[in-house]
Amino acid sequence: MKNLWSDKDAKRFIRRYKRQGINTDLALRVYTSRLLGINPKLVIHGGGNTSVKTTLKTIMGDFTDVICVKGSGWDLGNIEPEGLPAMHLIPLTQMKTLDALSDQDMVNAQRTNLLDSRSPNPSVETLLHAFLPHKFIDHTHANPILALSNQPSGERLCFKIYGNNIGYVPYIMPGFALAKKAFEVYQENPNIAGLILHKHGVFTFADTAKKSYDQMINLCNLAEKHIRNERRSSFVSIRLPKKTAKAYEIAPILRGLVVDERKPMVLDFRTSKQVRKFVDGTDILRYSQLGTVTPDHVIRTKPMPLVVPAPDADNLNHFRKGAEIALKRYIRNYHAYFRRNNKIAPIKKTELDPFPRIILVPGLGLFGLGNSAKTAAISADLAETNIEVITDTEAMSRFQPISEYDFFDIEYWSLEQAKLGASREKPLQRKIVVVTGGGSGIGAATAREFAAEGAQVAIIDNNSKAAEIVASSIGGLGIPCDVTSPQSVKKAFAAISLAYGGVDIVISNAGAAWQGRIGDVDERTLRQSFEVNFWGHQNIAQAAVAVMQAQGFGGCLLFNTSKQAINPGHNFGPYGLPKAATLSLMKQYALEYGAEGIRSNAVNADRIRSGLLTKGIIKVRSKARGLNESDYMAGNLLKREVTTEDVAKAFVSLAKSESTTAAIMTVDGGNIEASLR
């Protein structure tokens, strides 16, 4: 593991924060916290915490001793001084004389000692930091050290490697009892460089930020050296089907199975050589089912992943059945785990949902699951970390984490549940939405509107740059695709299934206008328009329905038709004819797939004033179509400007109307000739 300390960078941090009135201690604390945080082998997703003891000026102008500890909601990798809330140090250190302290009283004591009442909650490991006397304290869940301590003889092994340079703290859940025990262990030998917390992580400490960080890296390097030298076996692989199915083929099947009361999950697929070795192993049902490598992963991933059979490309139905049986067993086991441990828990808990957050697929890799792409990615990241540590442990010995009851204790610990936040889900959260022609105009506005409702949005556009720009502005996925090519469309949907696990709502919006008097228009023009304005919609709908059927819980198709489909205009035949066919296409899908819960609706939009128009960008194009600015307003009954946002809202509204199918919603400010009869 590389030591990333640089004197130059350290000085740069001191200078930068000095300008903001931040003292040197805190500036260096931010600097080395980030050095720890950017190394995923040390810290991922809010794991780990750091502290510094310093003095700060109070409002009365005098200096007071404080401890600044990482606050919840902050990641070490990009922490700022406000992510390290300051507390009065003396009252906290005095608490070490207490015999016991409840979690509630501990959190309250931490909060009442804050200098700034707006600060986030300081870490639940604050007292451990406060009791130790050192100025700088670093805590990580370092992978190589977890690989040592998660073995049956983990403690002995650590002493063998580190000798008297460390203290070893038995497993205790974070909180007052752990803080007190850690201090006791430290007192037995105050010359140690750090404390190893059994099957949990490691603390290092020193009087300077550099020394504490150096010690962390040194302890990790010694562990890594040991793992390299002692590595003996590696996993033996099972026999896989002749042809393994692709991840994008099975993602919608799994997504369809792991669905709770119409609340689907978002999936994130990962694979690598190391992941494959792990998931293909003959012993996977042993070493993958023992628990997580450090206790706090359990709140995001549950104690164990679901293992499904290797998918045979020639028999996906067989895979579906096998996965279904595996999931049923998983759910049964989870209920039993809850009952078993709740019975002996001092305070009775309410059971959480029994669904896995990680799925291991022999022959392929793994899926992380969550209620958004972000949480799914976190699950997948944690799964990869667990695989790395368990692989190292099993190469030397046997993986043995904390006990089942200890896992339960953490999973159902109110302070850990609080970390996840009781954030209410947005209306379309968990939904995977595809918008074609999403790189500009109505498509871009629609993508933004769905993203604002919490959906995961994939933007399809033949202009890959435009798709990328819109996607990155909403945290979505941009995919270059030619909707007139069935191959290109299939590839796009495979990419979406791979990124998110499937598809719920498709807005087939891509289109282009061709003109010509119908008696004179050349065949090529008319066919070209049919390619985009009819076949483009059919290709998209066909590919989407295949994914929706694999999921098996319905879906929603939304088409952007046009006023031309209902009220033809002079010289707009080449545009209106395929749009009229698309209107029928919408009804055909509604008719033939309604029984499978797939809805199909259209928005009939006309004379939409894009936000770009006001900037003069598409004025030229509008002029070419014989429209001037006043037409956009005076041309409708409401005398109202109709914008791309109005159309976007209509799509969202239809997506939410669970009982509506085969409907056309008109968004044109009122045009009686184009109204439906």
77 or 576: CB nearest Zn ion: 77
As measured in angstroms, the least distance from the Cβ of 592 to Zn ion is 55
| Shortest distance, position 171 Cβ to Zn ion, whole Å | 11
Closest C-alpha to 6, from 27, 30, 35: 35
Smallest distance from the beta carbon of 439 to Zn ion, in angstroms? Answer: 44
201 vs 303, which CB is nearer to Zn ion?
A: 201
Q: Compute the least distance from the CB of residue 49 to Zn ion, in Å.
A: 7
The least distance separating Zn ion from the CB of residue 308, rounded to whole angstroms, comes to 31
Which range binds Zn ion by CB under 5 A, 5-13, 144-152, 193-201, 652-660? 193-201
Query: Distances from the Cα of 363 to the Cαs of 7, 367, 614, in angstroms?
Result: 47, 13, 54
Question: Least CB distance from residue 131 to Zn ion, whole Å?
Answer: 15
Tell me which residues in 19-48 interact with Zn ion (CB under 5 A).
Answer: none
CA-nearest of 225, 212, 216 to 147 is 225
Which one, 201 or 476, has the nearer CB to Zn ion?
201
**Position 194 contacts Zn ion (CB under 5 A):** no
Count CA atoms closer than 13 A to 166's CA, side-chain side: 29
Of 199-207, 221-229, 239-247, 566-574, the segment contacting Zn ion by CB under 5 A is 199-207
The half-sphere exposure of 218 on its side-chain side, counting CA atoms within 13 A, is: 14
Strand runs labelled E in 375-525: 432-436, 456-461, 477-480, 505-508
Helix, strand, coil share of the chain (percent; to 5)? 50, 15, 35
Least spacing, CB of residue 421 vs Zn ion, in Å: 19
What number of chain residues touch Zn ion (CB under 5 A)?
1
Residue closer to Zn ion, measured from CB, 201 or 401: 201
Site string for Zn ion, 67-106 (x = CB under 5 A): ----------------------------------------
Report the residue number, 199 or 430, with the smaller CB distance to Zn ion: 199
The smaller minimum CB distance to Zn ion, of residues 201 and 441, is found at: 201
What are the DSSP calls for 506-545, one per residue? EEE-------B-TTT--HHHHHHHHIIIIIHHHHHHHHHH
Closer to Zn ion by Cβ: residue 280 or 416: 416
Q: Which helix (H) or strand (E) holds 359?
A: strand 358-361
Which H or E run contains 361?
A: strand 358-361
State the Cα–Cα distance between residues 456 and 574, nearest whole angstrom: 35
Q: Name which of 128 and 455 has its Cβ closer to Zn ion.
A: 128
Q: By C-beta, is 52 or 556 nearer to Zn ion?
A: 52
Segment interacting with Zn ion, rule: CB under 5 A, options 65-73, 200-208, 280-288, 614-622: 200-208
- Least distance between Zn ion and beta carbon 139 (Å): 6
Shortest reach from residue 350's CB to Zn ion, in Å: 25
Q: Is 201 in the site for Zn ion (CB under 5 A)?
A: yes
- Minimum separation from the CB atom of position 68 to Zn ion (A): 18
| Nearest CA-CA partner of 553 in 249, 262, 250, 251 | 262
State both tokens at 34: 């980030």
CA distance 592 to 482: 26
Round to whole Å and give the CA distance between 237 and 363. Answer: 9
Number of neighbours of residue 118 by Cβ within 10 angstroms: 7
Q: Residue 501 in contact with residue 251, Cβ under 8 Å?
A: yes
Least Cα distance to 293 among 389, 179, 360 occurs for: 389
Q: 50: number of CA atoms within 13 Å, CB side?
A: 35
Site string for Zn ion, 150-189 (x = CB under 5 A): ----------------------------------------
Nearer to Zn ion (CB atom), residue 201 or residue 573: 201
CB of 128 to Zn ion, least distance (A): 9
Q: How far is the CB of 351 from Zn ion (least distance, A)?
A: 25
Calpha distance 41→620 (Å, rounded): 55
Identify which of 61, 113, 58, 105 has the alpha carbon closest to the alpha carbon of residue 87: 113
Q: For residues 202 and 447, which CB has a smaller minimum distance to Zn ion in the complex?
A: 202
Q: Compare residues 203 and 572 and give the one whose CB is closer to Zn ion.
A: 203
The least distance separating Zn ion from the CB of residue 92, rounded to whole angstroms, comes to 18
Piece of 83-91, 130-138, 194-202, 397-405 that binds Zn ion (CB under 5 A): 194-202
CB 405 within 8 A of CB 285: no
Burial of residue 524 (number of CB atoms within 10 Å: 0-12, 13-18, 19+): exposed
- In this complex, which beta carbon is closest to Zn ion, that of residue 50 or of residue 54? 50
Q: Which amino acid is at 658?
A: E
Nearby residues of 254 by Cβ (< 8 Å), 6 or more positions away: 267, 308, 323, 359, 367, 501
Q: Using CB under 5 A, which of the segments 81-89, 201-209, 362-370, 602-610 binds Zn ion?
A: 201-209
The amino acid at residue 388 is E
- Closest residue to Zn ion in the complex (CB): 201
- Shortest Cβ 121–Zn ion spacing (Å): 15
Which candidate, 270, 257, 133, 124, places its Cα nearest to that of 192?
A: 133
CA nearest neighbour of 25 among 65, 76, 75, 72? 65
Residue with smaller CB distance to Zn ion, 167 or 201: 201
Residues of the shown chain interacting with Zn ion in the complex, contacts defined by CB under 5 A: 201
